[in-house]
Amino acid sequence: MIEKIEELLVEVNGFNTTSKEEIENFRIKYNGKKGVLNDFYETLKEVPNDQKKDFGQKINTLKQAVNVKLEDLKNASSSSSIILEKEDLTKPAFPLDLGSRHPINLVKNRIIEIFKSIGFAVADGPEIEDDWHNFTALNLPEYHPARDMQDTFFIEQNPDILLRTHTSSVQIRYMEENEPPIRILSPGRVFRNEAISSRSHCIFHQIEGLYIDENVSFADLKQTIQFFTTELFGKSKIRMRPSFFPFTEPSAEIDVYWGLNSETDYRITKGTGWLEIMGCGMVDPAVLKNVNIDSEKYSGYAFGMGIERITMLLYQMSDIRMFFENDIRTLEQFKTL
Ligand code: PHE
């Protein structure tokens, strides 16, 4: 008798189906009124007393196995029938969302494209810099007051290792390793310890340009910038306001004439029609000397702009924090430029 139960146990454990009908037959066979289990309980009454315990235990084991199996089969068959009943398996799949480029990258790439078309190459450099490349070689000696405008995060001190405050450091590295003519753009992430307002951010992106050759003049600088503003904004009217940077002499801020055609134009230009877009100037001979370029023979210009600012102008965005919030609802609106 015990052997018979063990055989059935193997059968129960090995049974599998998703057919509702077969599951019901299985239930009737074991749990039905005239089923196997009831049969055994009947037989149990006639078993001699000293064997009752063993026999009873075996029947219970079988009963448990039957119930567990029934539970499992029912679960499996109901979830598969839900899929079959509710899903139309012939439907085409949902389209994959491919994502989009970040607006900062879109604008960066567009700026690079414009300057590439007139012979500029892209140069890269480290975000963690030493004092020489970020400050000293750029004619910003230690204790120079102009350093105050570019406080940053120091990783080590004496000698100072810091997060670069501009990508002019890349220009120094490039001039140290290459002979003129030099015509490069250095795009990248820069860092400043800014607490001017709650909107200011300690990280932003810059793109700087450098051109060194024989007979490079201020007129070349102006014409290059004018070409750039025409290509990017469709606006060719620019003006140069005198300014100061330690690494350029003379130095200027470039304003582009945006116009006063809409209420927004009035707001963003504060009623003047002019918008500041970048700093620039002729490379100071002291900088050329620091990188062993003969300033009697060569001259050059440099310029630098913040990509966030340009992007905000192009897309008429009002808050710089939108670039760093990573809100997909904002970012997915910028697919192309
Ligand atoms: N490096 C300057 C800055 O970060 C920008 C600049 C570059 C100005 C080149 C003039 C010439 O403010």
Which residues are registered as beta bridge partners of 139? none
pLDDT for the residue 109: 96
Instruction: For ligand 1, atom 9, name the residue with the nearest CA.
Output: 303
pLDDT for residue 75 is more than 90? no
248 lines ligand 1 (CB under 6 A): yes
Residue 200, Cα to own-chain centre: how many angstroms? 20
CB contact set of 306 (below 8 Å; sequence gap of 6+)? 204, 205, 206
Q: Which numbered atom of ligand 1 lies nearest the CA of 165?
A: 4
Residue 209 in contact with ligand 1 by CB distance below 6 A: no
Ligand 1 center–CA 130 separation, angstroms: 18
Q: How many whole angstroms separate alpha carbon 23 and alpha carbon 38? A: 18
Q: 150 CA to middle of ligand 1, Å?
A: 11
Q: How many angstroms separate the alpha carbon of residue 262 from the centre of ligand 1?
A: 31
Q: Is residue 191 helix, strand or coil?
A: strand
Q: Does the CB atom of residue 279 touch ligand 1 within 6 A?
A: yes
Kindly report the pTM of this predicted structure. 0.72
Which pair of tokens denotes residue 75?
Answer: 């679960």
Cβ neighbours, 10 Å, residue 218 = 15
Rounded to the nearest 10 degrees, what angle do helices 49-86 and 20-31 cross at? 170
Q: What is the pLDDT of residues 20-67, one digit of tens each?
A: 888 889 999 999 899 989 988 888 888 888 888 888 898 999 999 999
> In the structure, what pLDDT confidence band is assigned to residue 82 with cuts at 50, 70 and 90?
low
| pLDDT the model gives residue 281 | 98
The Å distance, Cα 251 to ligand 1 centre, comes to 9
> Tokens standing for 53?
């315990």
Give the separation between CA 131 and CA 115, rounded to whole angstroms: 29
pLDDT of residue 74: 84
> What is the position in ligand 1's atom list of the atom closest to the CA of 210?
9
Q: What digits encode the pLDDT tens for the residues 264-312? A: 889 889 999 999 999 999 999 999 999 999 999 999 999 999 999 999 9
Q: Which of 140, 165, 168 to mutate to test the pocket of ligand 1 (most atoms within 8 A of CB)?
A: 168
Cβ of 255 below 6 Å from ligand 1: no
d(CA 164, CA 193): 11
Cα 278 to ligand 1 centre (Å): 8
Average pLDDT estimate for 63-82: 81
pLDDT tens, residue by residue, 105-164: 999 999 999 999 999 999 999 999 999 999 999 999 988 888 888 889 999 999 999 999
Which residues, at least 6 apart from 157, have a Cβ–Cβ distance to it below 8 Å?
none
Look at residues 227, 220, 213, 221 and name the one whose alpha carbon lies nearest to residue 253.
221
Burial of 105 (0-12, 13-18, 19+ CB in 10 A): middle
| From 247, 251, 282, 288, mutation site for ligand 1 pocket: most ligand atoms within 8 A of C-beta | 247
| Backbone conformation region of residue 119, classed left if phi is above 0, alpha if psi is from -120 to 50, else beta | left
Q: Is the pLDDT of residue 93 over 60?
A: yes
Tokens 């000696």 correspond to 141
**Ligand 1 contact via 245 beta carbon (within 6 Å):** yes
CA 257, 261, 223: angle at the middle one, nearest 5? 20
CA of 106 to the centre of ligand 1 (A): 22
Is residue 267 within 8 Å of residue 273, measured between CB atoms?
no
